[in-house]
Amino acid sequence: MENKELIRLALEAREMAYAPYSKYMVGAALLTTKGRVYKGCNIENAAYTPSNCAERTAFFKAVSEGEREFEAIAIVGGYRGAPTSYAYPCGVCRQVMMEFCDSAKFRIITAISEEQYLEQTLAELLPNGFGPNNL
Ligand code: THU
């Protein structure tokens, strides 16, 4: 799948963001090695702590459906309207990625639009990460 299409799906996922507290809306589209896409949005909570990031929503949807192998994730975020800056995955989400992905190969696409995006590997965003291979 083209990066452009994955970004389009992340933008679509962002429409579902439930962010009444921060008002910062995030969407993610996670591509499996078999070519399936799982979308996720951030889901906030009045008690704050139970809030979930868009990336983890996508991962947990996929893993709970039996998926274990992933190729890439596109992420978009920002306040109301079209994104104006890159939304990088938080540390907790990077650690969840580390659990299920080959960090040298897994691609993280942070996007402002379908045309304007950056692509980095998980190893670049989480160097020397601790994962299943360490145990
Ligand atoms: N958020 C994400 O969904 N993904 C990230 O990687 C960073 C932060 C969400 C959490 C919260 O709902 C809002 O963005 C502001 O932190």
Q: Convert the pLDDT of each residue in 26-76 to its tens digit.
A: 999 999 999 999 999 999 999 999 999 999 999 999 999 999 999 999 999
Summarize pLDDT for 2-31 with one digit per residue, the tens.
999 999 999 999 999 999 999 999 999 999
59: Cβ contacts below 8 Å, ≥ 6 apart = 30, 38, 40, 70, 93, 96, 97, 100
pLDDT for position 100: 98
User: 2, 12, 15, 55: which one is catalytic?
Assistant: 55
Would you state the structure tokens that stand for residue 65, as one six-digit string?
A: 């459906």
pLDDT band at 93; cut points 50, 70, 90: very high
What average pLDDT is seen over the chain? 98
pLDDT for the residue 112:
98
pLDDT of residue 117: 98
**Residue 2: active-site member:** no
pLDDT of residue 119: 98
Q: What percent of the chain has pLDDT over 90?
A: 99
pLDDT band for position 88 (cuts 50, 70, 90) = very high
Report residue 86: phi and psi, to 5°: -80, 135
Which residue from 14, 15, 16, 24 has its CB within 8 A of the most atoms of ligand 1, so it is best to mutate? 24
Q: Is the CB of 40 under 6 A from ligand 1?
A: no
State the SS3 of the chain.
CCHHHHHHHHHHHHCCCECCCCCCEEEEEEEECCCCEEEEECECCCCCCCCECHHHHHHHHHHHCCCCCEEEEEEEEECCCCCCCCCCCCHHHHHHHHHHCCCCCCEEEEECCCCCEEEEEHHHHCCCCCCHHHC
